[in-house]
Amino acid sequence: MEKTKVAVLGSGFIANIHLESYTRFVSDAQVVAIYGRNKEHAQKLAEEFGIPKVYDDIDQLLTECDVDVVDICLPNFLHHKACLKAAAHNKHVICEKPLAMNLEEADEMIQACESRGLKLMYAEELCFAPKYERVRAMVEQGAVGDVYMLKQGEKHDGPHSKWFYSKETAGGGVMMDMGCHALAWFRWMNKGVKVKNVYADMKTVFHNKITDCDDNTICIVEFENGVTGMAETSWAKPGGMDDRIEVYGNKGVVYADLFRGNSSLTYSVDGYGYAAEKAGSTKGWTFTIFEEAFNQGYPQELTHFIDCVRNDKEPCTTGRDGRAVLELTYAAYESARTGKKVSLPMEAVEVPYPMALWK
Ligand SMILES: NC(=O)c1ccc[n+]([C@@H]2O[C@H](COP(=O)([O-])OP(=O)(O)OC[C@H]3O[C@@H](n4cnc5c(N)ncnc54)[C@H](O)[C@@H]3O)[C@@H](O)[C@H]2O)c1
């Protein structure tokens, strides 16, 4: 069987990780085209990963290239438009988180793909991270008894590109950017169970000079089966990327740390090349990560999506999951404004982006 042909849209941070993952780990896929706003930058990635065609125009790429899958690695405000274009050309779609800027966009994306029999695959890598998946399997086997609380925290000192700090291009701050991981992972652990309500507290504590978006949030999600999810999400924590989970049950507990737990504790007088995502200086004590993409689940995620396309399987994270996460994100911003728990499903509300519900 021929390889599945993929076009990657975007040539920034996450495009790089997807390209490394396809090239090293997804033997059934071949990236045959890349789009980048900055063609020179895209060209560099094309050379590094052996991609034959480079475009700075998405329409031209879709018209000229015979691809099966379009992988959207663009800023949040471009996901909807790119997805509709790909669907109009009958391409399956992989879309990075968060799915869209608002629920109307999410609905149109789902409709555009489902009406044509195309797959819309929501790229939430925590559902594939090997350490977290080991935890999920253990918990399903009863390792901690009946689960009553899940915790997830993702923290660093702020994103690498300007567009993340603007609500008009990102949709919100850290809740939109990284809270979506916690919400998706809680739903993944608690599959099929509905959320009863959401409470959130949000502040801008670190990046006030450059953004009015939230950069430090806590969010508490109550599920109908009594499980509580507690998310701590921050762009205000120096010292590199942190991602941790905790699972509490009536017969045990599991703690898992994706970055520190997989790192070599290093001391270097002069510093060295690279320690981990957003780690900053490598002088003194550092945590040196290995196989960063693999440990976070990107190759496993993309292998799964390509398998779904090749063998017509239902992806384990779809556009509908992305939409559900977005709805919970709406509830979080609404709660941050009112200071009250918000019951799900929320009353229909039209906003350009979730943060408009907060301020
Ligand atoms: N799964 C994860 O953990 C994870 C991590 C990082 C980013 N992401 C998601 O991936 C997407 C891209 O994020 P990133 O970190 O790669 O961002 P980035 O800023 O590093 O790269 C964005 C890419 O889009 C292009 N771009 C920017 N503005 C554009 C515009 N106006 N028109 C056309 N192209 C434009 C840039 O040139 C660049 O190629 C976002 O949706 C983000 O939330 C996911």
Question: Which pLDDT belongs to residue 44?
Answer: 97
The CATH number given to whatever domain includes residue 55 is: 3.40.50.720
Which atom of ligand 1 is nearest to 181's Cα? Answer: 3
What average pLDDT does this structure show over 223-246? 97
Q: Give the max Cα distance, the chain.
A: 59
Say yes or no to pLDDT of 348 above 90: no
Task: Assess whether 63 and 28 both reside in one domain.
Answer: yes
In a domain? residue 350: no
Asked, for residue 248, whether it belongs to a domain, the answer is: yes
Mean local confidence (pLDDT), 214-238: 98
The predicted structure's pLDDT at residue 108: 98
CA distance 317 to 253: 26
**pLDDT of 1 higher than 90:** no
Centroid of ligand 1 to alpha carbon of 77 (angstroms): 10
Output the CA 97–ligand 1 centroid distance in Å. 10
Structural domain contains residue 331 = yes
Cβ atoms of residues 135 and 254 within 8 Å: yes
Q: What are phi and psi of 18, to 5 degrees?
A: -65, -40
- Of 56, 60, 62, residue with least CA distance to 84: 62
Tokens for 330, please give them: 């709406």
Same-domain pairing of 309 and 168: no
Domain assignment present for 94:
yes
Same domain, 106 and 30: yes
Mean pLDDT lowest among 58-67, 148-157, 274-283: 274-283
Tell me the per-residue pLDDT of 68-79, one tens digit each, with 9 for 90 and over. Answer: 999 999 999 999
Prediction pTM value:
0.97
Residue 209 belongs to a domain with what CATH number? 3.30.360.10
The DSSP string of 250-272 is TTEEEEEESSGGGSEEEEESS--
pLDDT of residue 291: 96
Q: Is residue 272 part of a domain?
A: yes
Q: 237 CA distance to ligand 1 centroid (A)?
A: 21
Tokens representing residue 331 in the block? 């509830």
Predicted pLDDT at 217: 98
Q: Has residue 297 got a pLDDT over 90?
A: yes
Whether pLDDT at 64 is above 90: yes
In this structure, the answer to whether residues 223 and 308 fall within a common structural domain is no
With CA atoms as reference, report the closest residue to 207 among 230, 178, 179, 234. Answer: 234
Q: Is 76 in the pocket of ligand 1 (CB under 6 A)?
A: yes
Quote the CA–CA distance of 8 and 45 in Å, as a whole number: 11
Tokens representing 151 are 């915790």
| H helix or E strand, kind and range, residue 88 | helix 79-88
Round to whole Å and give the CA distance between 330 and 259.
29
pLDDT of residue 218: 98
Whole domain around residue 90: which residue ranges?
4-125+299-317
- Residue of 60, 73, 233 to mutate, ligand 1, most atoms within 8 A of C-beta: 73
pLDDT score of 347: 87
Query: Mean of the pLDDT values across residues 216-233?
Result: 98
| Pair (241, 229) in one structural domain | yes
Q: DSSP assignment, residue 155?
A: E
Segment 165-174 mean pLDDT: 98
Which residue from 36, 101, 119, 50 is spatially nearest to 314, judged by alpha carbons?
A: 119
* Strand, helix or coil for residue 200: strand
Ligand 1 centroid, distance to 356 Cα (angstroms): 22
- In ligand 1, the atom with minimum distance to the C-alpha of 15 is 16
Report which protein residue has its CA nearest ligand 1's atom 15: 13
Total number of domains constituting the chain: 2
CA angle 108, 114, 117 (to 5 degrees): 145
Asked if the structure places residue 171 within a domain, the reply is yes
Any domain includes 349: no
Q: How many CB atoms lie within 10 A of CB 56?
A: 16
**pLDDT mean over 333-352:** 96
**What's the mean per-residue pLDDT of the chain?**
97
pLDDT, average across residues 110-124: 98
Asked if residue 121 and residue 159 are part of one domain, the reply reads no
How long a stretch of residues is the chain? 359
Q: Is 10 in the pocket of ligand 1 (CB under 6 A)?
A: yes
Helix (H) or strand (E) holding 359: none
Q: In the numeric block, which tokens belong to residue 56?
A: 């700075």
Residues 84 and 96 in one domain: yes
**211/119 same-domain check:** no
Q: Looking at the structure, tell me whether residues 49 and 59 fall in a common domain.
A: yes
89 and 194, same domain (yes or no): no
For range 95-118, the mean pLDDT: 98
